[in-house]
Amino acid sequence: MADRSDLVLDVKNLKTVFFTNSGLFKAVDDLSFTVKRGETLAIVGESGCGKSVTALSLMRLVPDPPGRIVDGSVLLEGTDLLALNETEMRKIRGNRISMIFQEPMTSLNPVIRIGDQIIEAVRLHRNLSSREAKDIAVEMLRLVRIPEPARRAKEYPHQLSGGMRQRAMIAMALACRPALLIADEPTTALDVTIQAQILALILDLQKELGTGLVLITHDLGVVAQAAQRVIVMYAGRKVEEAGVEALFAAPRHPYTRGLMASIPAVPAPGVAAPARLNEIPGTVPSLVRLPKGCAFAPRCPLAVKRCEAEYPPLTDWGGGHLAACWRAADVAEVA
């Protein structure tokens, strides 16, 4: 186990539920993980697996109603965020923990100048004059490599391209030098060429500032490039956790293996591309009516009777490689 003083984030048994008309569902169920200073942890999974709700739970921004964090603890630099009142939490948000969202086009306020939006973030947490805050804002825009930062600071979001807006979002999120940055699909909405730039920028700044990073994505390419450790989520639960090399070398959960198999490979020269991409059969189960046993069992090629009856516990397969699967031992062989 890592030295505890090195931990920026320590999440234990987090449980976030939603109360809807069709019933109660656990969007995040019994999730635990840690992030060290300067470390990148990727959370991977399909849409609706609870990745984004996890991020919002860490920020305590889950819309209530219908959502509520009902159990667990979120220790950020030793402080349990779930025990704070709203006023105390506001002092932490944007200051010690901040977040970049998926949609740069809609995540910035369209009627407030870019610079003023960053200045606001700075002045909420630092006792600075508006002049000093403005200098910091321009400096942050320079840091995220926006050309002519002083001029751009006076512009409105619609005057910037998507990539520029995401850079501005990053500048805003990092303006107070947070201990932890959560990036929820930060490159999904961008052009492919811009994606690589933005990801590289986030990783550079993370290294420079020593920030812990929780990177939420469904793109395994991004994971391989950016993360040191990976959590795979399915139907609100963690099904596998491992170092990035271990995970790609030998996934222990059939779901992880399915995800990897569905990455389209570029065929070698002269070889015809396969007519059909690999996929995981079936769809994500409704969270309101989860099966009693393993939620993945109905889609799993390796499923046996036991999978449908009992939920498999997370088991350590050595070196912190955790997997929740009754047949984890057989996955490597089949793959």
Which positions from 134 to 173 touch another protein by CB under 8 A, shown as an x/- string?
----------------------x-x----------x--xx
Residue 94 touching another protein (CB under 8 A): yes
Instruction: Compute the C-alpha angle 311/317/318, nearest 5°.
Output: 150
**Judged by CB under 8 A, which of 2, 70, 112, 263 binds another protein?**
112
CB of 108 to another protein, least distance (A): 6
Residue 278: Cβ within 10 Å count: 13
Minimum distance, C-beta of residue 205 to another protein, in the bound complex (Å): 17
- In the complex, the smallest distance separating the C-beta of residue 128 from another protein, rounded to whole angstroms, is 15
Joined together, the tokens standing for residue 16 give 């976030």
x-or-dash string of contact with another protein, 49-68, rule CB under 8 A: ----------x-x-------
CB closer to another protein, 188 vs 225: 188
CA distance 226 to 244: 9
Gap between the Cα atoms of 114 and 296, Å rounded: 44
**CB 99 → another protein: shortest distance, Å?**
5
Q: Are 221 and 262 in contact (CB under 8 A)?
A: no
Give how far Cα 130 sits from Cα of 119, 120, 143, 151, 170, Å.
Answer: 7, 9, 20, 17, 20
Give me the 181-200 binding string for another protein, x by CB under 8 A, dash otherwise: --------------------
- Answer yes or no whether residue 259 interacts with another protein by CB under 8 A: no
- What b-and-e string marks burial along 108-125, b requiring 16 or more CB atoms within 10 Å of the CB? beeeebbbbbbbbbbbeb
Span 20-39, contacts to another protein by CB under 8 A: none
- Smallest distance, another protein to C-beta of residue 101, A: 6
**Binding of another protein at residue 314 (CB under 8 A)?**
no
- DSSP-derived 3-state class of residue 25: strand
